[in-house]
Amino acid sequence: MNSGKSAEQKKRTSAGRRPAPAGRRVFRPDPGRYEKTVYRTCGRSGLKLPPVSLGLWHNFGGVDRAADGRRIVLRAFDLGVTHFDLANNYGPPPGSAETNFGRILKADLASHRDELIISTKAGYRMWPGPCGEWGSRKTLLASLDQSLRRLGLEYVDIYYSHRYDPETPLAETASALIQAVRSGKALYAGISNYPPGPTETIAALLRFEGVPLLIHQMKYSMFVREPESGLFGALEAGGIGGIAFSPLAQGLLTDRYRTGVPADSRAAKPHGFLQKSEITPERQETIRALEAMAQRRGQTLAQMAIAWVLRQPVVTSALIGASRVEQLESNLKATENRTFGESELSEIDGILGI
Ligand SMILES: NC(=O)c1ccc[n+]([C@@H]2O[C@H](COP(=O)([O-])OP(=O)(O)OC[C@H]3O[C@@H](n4cnc5c(N)ncnc54)[C@H](OP(=O)(O)O)[C@@H]3O)[C@@H](O)[C@H]2O)c1
């Protein structure tokens, strides 16, 4: 008897999804994944983020092996990581990380969309001409539409102005973030790399319009301490969450460069942002001293570096990168020892020469 279904429809599963291609395992996440971590409330909002989030700046672009990126993303989700961070320009080539992540979403995570916190940003150069970067309404809103198309999504959870634009009135940038939220293309507004003063101003503009600033994404690690002078105070006072990017200083605060520059490391890649010149003998000495201290705490240096940024109450999440599953798995264990005594904090500052 004819069931009335076309051959194409029969190929689909009862949930309406195509079956996984031969040789590709269907992704079934661990049902116990949410017992693996304690989620943290982002500022004065209702949104909870995992203590460690995964960023797709490096290792997920068109130049990378898509299968490796998929493995890392799915393992992260399996271990309770719900937050994945992107930007329009992540790749290389720019845009390819969003495209690749969109493929993973469609193939493996479509039924988990409501569990995921997906962020993207605009502000660094993305397309030619004066509209392809910075913080105008034109740039932010055009870029958001592009990102949604690449990601294959109707909305992102957090939309960021990626950097402070001194030539665009903050009210204009704020108006674009507000429109992104009111149009339903983003659920929350964020900013990244803004100094304390403009952070306070844009937070007030957004608050006035009933679209409070959810989060500030700032560079923060043992090697980059600027947010401690003013920014953290502004976030605390404004009820704004913080997410610390590059907490491992792009890999410097790990065992990666203890003795040299491995051929497969970020510093060795032509498109890697970490420069070989940053790996000096003095740095390596500092890294070895920090590593010895981490060992005494029963941690790897990477785990100690992540725990160290999370000791700040205003830092909701540490935003890491990873080039392989093993790095991710090991780094997520950072939360097992997040307490630092005063003497340990002073020892770290001493090693860093602060
Ligand atoms: N808002 C902004 O302007 C901005 C700027 C930068 C980054 N971000 C965000 O922050 C995310 C993280 O940045 P990031 O990748 O620089 O973070 P990171 O965590 O400081 O560095 C990640 C790199 O460290 C190395 N690594 C990680 N775990 C390791 C381990 N256990 N052992 C040895 N090496 C390890 C890997 O390098 P190898 O590749 O060499 O293995 C990895 O790619 C980005 O993906 C992006 O989402 C935002």
- Structurally, the chain folds into a number of domains equal to 1
Pocket test for ligand 1, best of 218, 256, 274 (most atoms within 8 A of CB): 256
What is the token pair recorded at 199?
């952070």
Ligand 1: which residue has its CA nearest to atom 48? 245
Query: Model-level pTM greater than 0.85?
Result: yes
59 CA to centre of ligand 1 in angstroms? 9
Pocket test for ligand 1, best of 248, 264, 333 (most atoms within 8 A of CB): 248
Locate the ligand 1 atom nearest the alpha carbon of residue 87 and give its number. 47
Residue 5: band (very low, low, confident or very high) from pLDDT cuts 50, 70, 90: very low
Alpha carbons 3 and 11: distance in angstroms, whole number:
13
Locate the ligand 1 atom nearest the alpha carbon of residue 251 and give its number. 24
The percent of residues in the chain predicted with pLDDT above 90, rounded, is 92
321 CA to centre of ligand 1 in angstroms? 3
Q: Flag whether 290 is in a domain.
A: no
323 CA to centre of ligand 1 in angstroms? 8
Give the CA radius of gyration of the chain: 21
Q: Flag whether 256 is in a domain.
A: no
265 CA to centre of ligand 1 in angstroms? 11
Name which of 114, 116, 130 is nearest 56 in CA terms: 116
| Cβ–Cβ < 8 Å for 85, 17 | no
Is the predicted pLDDT of residue 72 greater than 60, yes or no? yes
| Cβ–Cβ < 8 Å for 81, 54 | yes
pLDDT tens-digit map of 158-188: 999 999 999 999 999 999 999 999 999 999 9
Q: What pLDDT shows up at residue 23?
A: 61
Pocket test for ligand 1, best of 221, 323, 326, 329 (most atoms within 8 A of CB): 323
Q: Residue 119: which domain range?
A: 42-250+300-340
Mean pLDDT across 211-235: 98
Q: Flag whether 295 is in a domain.
A: no
Strand partners, 122: 161
Alpha carbons 103 and 68: distance in angstroms, whole number:
13
Using CB distances shorter than 6 Å, the residues near ligand 1 are 55-59, 85, 162, 192-193, 217, 245-251, 254-256, 265-266, 302, 319-323, 327, 330-331
Alpha carbons 113 and 44: distance in angstroms, whole number:
24
Alpha carbons 246 and 37: distance in angstroms, whole number:
21
Mean pLDDT across 309-333: 98
Ligand 1: which residue has its CA nearest to atom 8? 245
Cα atoms found within 13 Å of the Cα of residue 126, Cβ hemisphere only: 28
CATH of the domain at 102: 3.20.20.100
Q: What pLDDT shows up at residue 71?
A: 97
For residue 88, what are the contacts with CB-CB under 8 A and spacing of at least 6? Answer: 94, 95, 98, 120, 121, 122, 124, 126, 143, 146, 147
